[in-house]
Amino acid sequence: MGNYMKKPLCYIALFVMSISSISFAKETFQPFVLASVGKADYQQTVTETKQKLADAGFTLLGEYQPFGNNTLIIVTNEEALKVAAMSKRGAYGAPMRVSVSQYGDEVEVSYANPLYFEKAYWLKGSLVSVDNALRSTLGFVKTFGSEEGLTAKKLKKYHYMFSMPYFDDPYEYDEYGSYEQAVSEVEKRINIEGDPITMVYKLEIPGTKMTIFGVQLKATGKDDDEEDLDEQYQLNVVDFERPGKKAYLAYEILVNNDEVEALHMKFRMALYFPDLPMTGKHGFTKLMSSPGEIDDAFEELIDDYR
């Protein structure tokens, strides 16, 4: 009787473990988190959001208003920095991007989902505690940005379609004489007035030779081609339904040792907007010239230092 009972119990345990494994393997992630939405004063919400983040131990890296009543607040904390330092190009995962956007009499607070980008940026550590801190600080309504979501396996090898770039296919620029020179030159050139590239934040990852710059891309009106790199122009195409996805901003430039790179737009935008079609009113072909224009602007900024 004892052996008879042990076998079924063993089979049941194995079955439960198998189901749990399948469930875990199929867990999906979405690029954005909606923290709150409702009738509110826009400017007051911006102020309160920054204060909440500060009170929760987040460090403000920078903020800017790209267009209209949309504010991007970029923060980090000790855990995000620690995780970023574990990976070769982990700096991309350190800044947390929070957006506050007004739609009529309603205000949305959203942020880029750390759990989604932890996988997409090949981070060796976990950002679960960072996500928990953001949820408890800002609130949580739902994740959004992809109807079905993407599994961890899909995110770790993400590319939009055949021949499109992966995470390890960035824009690459000239090497400098040293890490220190690279950081100094990039920062100096980002801050040149009148250019379409403006610095939003600078973040050095402690214990590494990685510094990431967040930049705003805005047409100056001097060149008709600049429209293709303008943030508002791009988001007018892809960010067309609520909840809004302004936490796509700001673009990054990474100094890694003595080398400088930036995520390829064909990878970065597709990662944030994985459900968008290639063609149509809101398709990526509407922005066909944007990847090249962004690359050219970064190249002119970075490679022209000699």
Query: Per residue in 84-139, pLDDT tens?
Result: 999 999 999 999 999 999 999 999 999 999 999 999 999 999 999 999 999 999 99
CATH for 264 = 3.30.310.70
Q: How many domains is the chain partitioned into structurally?
A: 1
Residue 304's pLDDT is what?
56
Is there a domain that residue 6 lies in?
A: no
CA distance 150 to 255: 29
- Tell how many helices (H) and how many strands (E) occur in the chain: 10, 13
Question: Residues with Cβ < 8 Å from 88, sequence gap 6 or more?
Answer: 256
Any idea which of 7-16, 61-70, 213-222, 266-275 has the lowest mean pLDDT?
A: 7-16
Is there a domain that residue 127 lies in?
A: yes
Is there a domain that residue 21 lies in?
A: no
Q: Using one digit for the tens of pLDDT, what is the confidence trace for 14-72? A: 454 444 444 445 899 999 999 999 999 999 999 999 999 999 999 999 999 999 999 99
Is there a domain that residue 34 lies in?
A: yes
Is there a domain that residue 11 lies in?
A: no
| Residue labelled with tokens 């959203």 | 110
Is there a domain that residue 15 lies in?
A: no
Sign for the CA dihedral angle at 110, 115, 121, 127 comes to positive
Is there a domain that residue 154 lies in?
A: yes
Structural domain boundaries enclosing 116? 29-303
CA distances from 31 to 7, 23, 273, 295 (A): 44, 20, 8, 24
Is there a domain that residue 138 lies in?
A: yes
